[in-house]
Structure 1
Amino acid sequence: MGFDARFLELHAAMPRVSEADAATSVELDYVHFSVVLDTARRLARVTGVNVDGASLVELDRGGDDWQLDERIPADWQAGPAVYARNDLDRGHLVRRRDPVWGSPEVAARANAETFRYPNAAPQASGFNQSKELWLGLEDHVLAHASVNGMRLSVFTAPILAAGDPAYRGIRVPLRYWKIAAWNSGGELAAAGFVVDQAPLVDTSEARTPLPGEVPDLGPFRTFQVPVADVAALTKLEMPELVEADRLPKTIAAAGWRRLETSADLLL
């Protein structure tokens, strides 16, 4: 019951890992979503979820009962030790409510399965307007785009950069990406986004964290970006999504578009 590439009634496949990264990648299927985990970085390289906006089921978040995925070794996952006694949030990659649709039993299982460590990544604690916008992008796309049947396929993950700061056996990602895809009048449409949580300091003045110290993270800053830029940053293969990008080329040429509110989205 993992991610369905035909969910939009046209083909919209998950971005694919390159041959170079395939040896350290494992795909895990959950209810209505899938995670491709980088076992070396112990974080997701890509996730994909099918969102049926017309059939979402409202369930309580519950007690944040995060669990290791027992199908794979614990040391492939960034587990509870990464988040213990610090201010890092276990950020959902596939948003908790996105796969929670269908029958009550299926929705409940989907809700629980979003609390698996392969679906988490360390994020700055606290909240700001840009983080709220990032977490609500799916809702804004459903509200403002011409979406057939209120269905979306959403892909997201950290950008796993070599320079990410080391912490407790992992490297904490400083940027995340997200692509929303939908059926617009029988044609695939897509929009790409990046959120940056790098510290807002002059890099020449940045202090290297001491061993065991949480890296400095800044407030979320959200951008709409060309899908082609996401492909380049992640080294994932996604030609269909690049072709379907709704960001006008004239605007894309001017650089990344900083988003302050949902009114800034170009869909």
Structure 2
Amino acid sequence: MSDGYDPDFLGIPLRLPSPEVETIRLDYPRFSVLLDPVRRFAALTAVVIDGATLRDVPRSGEWRLDPRAPESQAGPDVYSRNDLDRGHLVRRRDPGWGTVSEARDATAATFFYTNAAPQAAGFNQSKELWLGLEDHVLAYADSTDQRLAVFTAPVLDDADPPYRGIRVPLRFWKVAAWRSPEGLAAAGFVLDQTALVDTREGLTVAPLGAFRTFQVPIREIAAEARIDMGDLAGADVLARAGARATGAREVGAPSDIVL
């Protein structure tokens, strides 16, 4: 089953955002990856989530290369013998909805290296918040039909530090979109691990450092990541009438998020 991202899933047409660079599109159950073959990481991932039918299936799947693009993805050598995690871009849980069989197949598909990017190992409050953003937005969207489209990727900056033949992304972005009573709504976020990762002498990860999570205007994310966000920018809750201002807002707890 390789149905990929569904642009009509929210009941409002929402096309896939378009990176400036050439990419390889790879479809998986309920999600798609646009792979940058030069950087060997995803320039964009897109998943649709039906919160009403999410399944809590046991973790299954081993990290593996996608044979459709064997030379275009950063593989196990990047993550061995260091303090880097293979960070899921599409969360394991997000496509795991529908029947038990469908949920199991979809969550297992998130373990392809095309869906991974290096993140500093270990958890703290800010990373737990990042991993739970979809759940928080789903809870907010409960008044409609609990459906989300979520787009996530590293910011592939030319200044990212080199390591083992790749460049380690220092920032990650996420945009969640849902259907509100007024129409399409969206919120954008950035996770910054700059203070944690140092590749000048091999690789070191600061053991007590903090990930920093920000809510950021989607237009700024589009400019930084060099991606055409289409209708998402105009649907940004930070830009709607009456919302507090523009610019990045650091998020320390769910109560800091503007929805």
Distance 2:225 2:245 in 1: 18
Q: Deviations over 1:219-256 (max 9, x none)?
A: 21000010001100011001300000001466333x31
Q: Could you tell me how far 1:199 is from its partner in structure 2? A: 1.2
Q: Secondary structure at the match of 1:144?
A: helix
Q: List alignment gaps of at least 5 residues for structure 1.
A: 202-206
Q: Does 1:149 align with 2:141?
A: no
SS, match of residue 252 in structure 1: coil
Identity of aligned residues (%): 55
Distance 2:239 2:12 in 1: 22
The aligned residue for residue 244 of structure 2 is 251
- Of the three residues 15, 30, 33, the one matched with 2:31 is 33
Superposed, 1:86-97 pairs within 5 Å as: 86-97=82-93
Aligned 1:120-199 pairs, distance under 5 A: 120-145=116-141, 148-185=144-181, 187-199=183-195
Post-superposition, which runs of at least 4 consecutive aligned residues in structure 1 deviate over 4 A? 215-218
Amino acid at match of 2:250: R
1:68 aligns with 2:71: no
Give the number of aligned pairs. Answer: 253
Contact 1:92 1:120 (8 Å CA) reproduced: yes
SS of alignment partner, residue 78 of structure 2: helix
TM-score, normalised by the number of residues in structure 1: 0.90
Q: Report the CA distance between 1:61 and its aligned residue.
A: 1.5
In the alignment, what sits opposite 1:204? none
TM-score when scaled to structure 2? 0.93
| Paired position in structure 2 for 1:117 | 113
Q: Distance in 2 between matches of 1:44 and 1:72?
A: 12
Q: 1:208 to 1:35 in 2, by over 3 A?
A: closer
Superposed displacement of residue 189, structure 1: 0.3
In the alignment, structure 2 segments of 5+ residues that lack a partner are: none
Which residue in 1 is equivalent to 2:226?
235
Structure 1 residues 238 and 147, CA gap change in structure 2 (3 angstroms): farther
Distance 1:122 1:178 in 2: 16
2:73 pairs with 1:77: yes
Q: CA separation of 1:208/1:41 partners in 2, compared to 1, >3 Å: closer, same or farther?
A: closer
